[in-house]
Amino acid sequence: MNKKIAYQGVQGAYSEQACKNAYPEYETIACDTFHEAMWMVESGDADIAMIPLENSTAGRVEEIYRLIPKMALHVIAEHFEPIVHCLLALPDVKVEDLKSVASHPQALAQCHNNILSLGLKSEAKLDTAGAAKELSLSKDRTSAAVASKLAADIYGLQILKENFEDKHGNTTRFFILSREKSVPTYESYKRYITSLVFQVKDIPAALYKVLGGFASNGINLLKIESYMGSHMVSGSQFHIDIDGHIDSEIMTIALKEVSFFAEDVRILGVYESHREHSLEYTI
C-alpha cells in the first residue's frame, strides 16, 4: 500500500510540487485547508503532511503559527522548495494572442514587471493551480495563468515562459508533520534544528533570560516568533528554531536554563537541517 502525504491546495499547487520533489514515492492528497491536511495525518488517513511555514518573499504563513500550538503532530523534517512561476496557456496559443493573466495575488505581484512588459491585465484568483485549472476548462485562448510546471502537466497547458518571476530565488520553507515522534540519532558532524514552543513566566526579563541560556552556551537561534494563544494568558508564547540537537551537551544545559524561566515547554521536533542542501534562504 502506497504511503500518503497531505497538502493544502488543489492539484498542481506548489505544495504538491514540494511533496513530489521531497517524497516522490508517496501518493499526494489535496486538502481544502491546512487544518484538514493536518487532521488527515492525526486521523491516520495520511502518513505525513507538507505544510508551508514561510516564504522568502511573502513572509510567514500566519495561520500555521496559530495552528502549531494546538496540533498533536510532530515535526520530522523541513523542506525548502524553490518557487518557479510559469506563464501557462492553452495548447498552440502564442504570447501575442494573450490579453489577461490569472493567478494568486502573491504570484501576480512576483511577476508584476513581466506581466506589464507583455501588456496583460492581471486577474486575482484564490490560488495558482486553481487559476490553471479554470483556464483549462474555459478554453479561453486570450487568457493565461501563472502556476507551476506541475499544474501545466496536470491540466494540459503549455508553458509559454518558465522562470516568469521578476526576481529568481523565491523559496518556501515547509514543515513535514507526522503522528509519530522521530528524533534522529545525534551525530556531531551533522547540522540539526530543534523547534519548540513555550510560554514565558510572568516575571521581569523572562524572555531575556530564556534567550540568555542559549547565548551563554554559544547556541544560535535561527528564528523566533511570538503569538497569542486561543485565550488570554499571563505570559507571552513563543516558537523558536534552534541550531542544534537536544542530545548535544550544550543544548542539554541550555534547555535546563530555559525551564527556570519558561513553562509549557514543548519540543515540536528535532530534524536534520535542509538548509545544507537547499538554495540560500532569507526572509
Name the residues annotated as catalytic. 172, 174
Q: Please check whether residue 208 is in contact with residue 236, taking contact to mean a CB–CB distance below 8 angstroms.
A: no
Name the nearest CA neighbour of 201 among 259, 261, 265. 261
Strand-pairing partners, residue 246, are none
CB atoms near residue 30 (< 10 Å): 18
Q: Provide the 3-class DSSP secondary structure of residue 166.
A: coil
Strands 158-161 and 86-89: antiparallel
Say which DSSP state 37 is in.
Answer: H
Name the nearest CA neighbour of 81 among 53, 102, 60. 53
CA dist., res. 251 & res. 212, Å (int) = 13
Name the nearest CA neighbour of 255 among 171, 196, 170. 196
> For residue 249, what are the CA distances in angstroms to 77, 94, 135, 217, 259?
22, 61, 56, 10, 16
Strand-pairing partners, residue 50, are 7, 176
CB atoms near residue 115 (< 10 Å): 22
For residue 128, how far is the Cα from the chain centroid?
A: 15
Say which DSSP state 265 is in.
Answer: E
